[in-house]
């Protein structure tokens, strides 16, 4: 398919001269060749017409786990990228938590090879330490050359301050980005939920907010000492917001993300001991959830991630304290976010991570690469099993209200539209 005509699409792209205009968009060989009020359709053109069609720059998810290699029963790269495309994402950053861990250039090349010829582009994150064990730095420079866009151990915090320091110093030689999940394990102990009234009521061991905050404070001190660039994923406490805000005011190159589930859900949902809500970091209280939303709106939190983490039923459908942490999130991300944030903020925060990870941003203009997400921001539905496209079904959003509808994407000269 070479030519696609998108009819009556409202463009949501603050960087585009067509922002908030309803227009037709003509794409030829992956390039936007015309944007106008009415473009006539010709033979051999695929025409896309959808109810209340909106279009934005392609969305990028900065934290996605699949499984392959090693855990293909959870998710394969091919199906995972199809899920991402149908969920509106034109690009994803793949976490290194496969088996083996993506900690060398051959593993980076393997996942890139598996992701060829897909509509959604895969960008690998290399592990920061060998086997993500936190003791020795992995082959960072080699992985960068092979195509890794950043380095971090997924949901594992570097406990050794010196390793963290050396990593921040080392990657500066090639303008690398360090991703540091923050949690002090000695303070976390055997905790599995947020420490507070809910954990006491439920009789579950709590993880204090301090476990995250102390680690963030340490890493920001190290960043101030070393220089370089640091990305702190999935922050979840009020003090974390404050610490990052202060670090940015000092001029430190620090960015952060928050997960969709921390913006939409709170710890009160744990009352039924349903392990689908067991995530890392844990769901916090309602006051904190509102503070995270405020930090998204005021710009302290740079981007939003689905933190998509498929897990097989054997590891998830267990007693709460035995179940693995994690929820799938690609399919529900857009619809769940619209229940708590305005549309323009949602679009901005689903595209903002491109700048952080230095990925090309394709604004919606004539003669630019067509990398587009299609959606309808109106309407409501309940998220059910029928909405899940992933191989794994561990969604924290089952039976939750969502807003709007994702129609699909156009990227890499490929059109993916949901039925």
- Residues with active-site annotation: 307
Strand order in the sheet with 150-151: 59-64, 89-94, 121-126, 150-151, 178-179, 229-232, 253-259, 303-305
Residue 392 dihedral angles phi and psi, to the nearest 5°: -90, 150
Token digits of residue 238: 């009020």
Stretch (H or E) spanning 145:
helix 140-146
DSSP line for 38-65: -----TT-EEE--TT-EEEEPEEEEEE-
Neighbours of 332 (CB within 10 A): 25
Beta bridge partners of 234: none
Look at residues 228, 230, 254 and name the one whose alpha carbon lies nearest to residue 241: 254
Token digits of residue 185: 């394990």
In this structure, the strands spanning 372-382 and 54-57 are: antiparallel
Give Cβ neighbours of residue 40 (< 8 Å, ≥ 6 apart).
Answer: none
Alpha helices in 237-356 (DSSP H): 238-249, 260-264, 286-297, 313-316, 333-337, 343-351, 353-356
Torsion angle of C-alpha atoms 128, 132, 134, 138, degrees rounded to 10: -40
DSSP secondary structure code for residue 188 in this structure = H
Token digits of residue 286: 């309602």
Alpha helices in 151-208 (DSSP H): 161-170, 185-188, 197-202
Rounded Cα gap, residues 97 and 88, in angstroms: 23
Rounded Cα gap, residues 390 and 396, in angstroms: 13
Token digits of residue 293: 């939303």
């Amino acid at each position: 398919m070479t030519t696609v005509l998108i009819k009556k699409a409202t463009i949501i792209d603050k960087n585009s001269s067509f922002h908030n205009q309803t227009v037709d968009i003509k794409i030829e060989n992956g390039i936007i060749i015309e944007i106008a009020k009415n473009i006539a359709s010709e033979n051999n053109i695929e025409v896309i017409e959808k109810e209340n069609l909106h279009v934005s720059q392609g969305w990028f998810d900065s934290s996605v786990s699949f499984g392959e290699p090693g855990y293909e029963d959870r998710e394969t790269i091919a199906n995972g990228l199809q899920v991402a495309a149908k969920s509106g994402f034109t690009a994803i950053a793949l976490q290194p938590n496969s088996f083996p861990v993506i900690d060398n250039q051959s593993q980076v090349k393997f996942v890139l090879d598996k992701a060829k010829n897909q509509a959604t582009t895969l960008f690998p994150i290399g592990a920061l330490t060998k086997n993500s064990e936190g003791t020795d730095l992995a082959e960072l420079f080699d992985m960068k050359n092979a195509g890794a866009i950043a380095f971090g151990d997924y949901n594992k915090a570097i406990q050794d301050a010196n390793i963290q320091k050396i990593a921040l110093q080392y990657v500066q030689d090639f303008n690398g980005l360090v991703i540091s999940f923050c949690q002090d394990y000695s303070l976390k102990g055997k905790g599995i939920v947020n420490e507070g009234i809910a954990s006491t009521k439920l009789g579950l061991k709590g993880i204090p907010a301090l476990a995250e905050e102390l680690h963030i404070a340490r890493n920001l001190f190290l960043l101030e000492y070393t220089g370089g660039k640091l990305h702190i994923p999935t922050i979840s406490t009020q003090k974390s917001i404050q610490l990052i805000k202060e670090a940015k005011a000092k001029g430190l190159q620090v960015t952060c993300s928050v997960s969709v589930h921390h913006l939409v859900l709170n710890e009160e949902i744990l009352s039924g001991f349903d392990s689908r809500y067991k995530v890392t970091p844990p769901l916090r209280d309602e006051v904190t959830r509102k503070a995270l939303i405020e930090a998204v709106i005021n710009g302290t939190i740079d981007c939003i991630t689905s933190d998509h983490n498929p897990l097989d039923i054997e590891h998830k459908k267990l007693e709460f304290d035995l179940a693995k942490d994690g929820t799938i999130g690609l399919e529900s991300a857009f619809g769940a976010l619209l229940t708590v944030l305005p549309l323009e903020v949602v679009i901005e925060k689903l595209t903002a991570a491109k700048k952080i990870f230095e990925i090309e941003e394709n604004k919606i203009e004539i003669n630019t690469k067509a990398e587009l997400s299609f959606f309808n921001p109106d309407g409501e539905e309940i998220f059910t099993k029928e909405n899940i496209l992933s191989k794994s079904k561990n969604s924290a959003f089952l039976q939750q209200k969502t807003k709007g509808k994702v129609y699909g994407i156009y990227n890499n000269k490929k059109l993916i539209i949901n039925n």
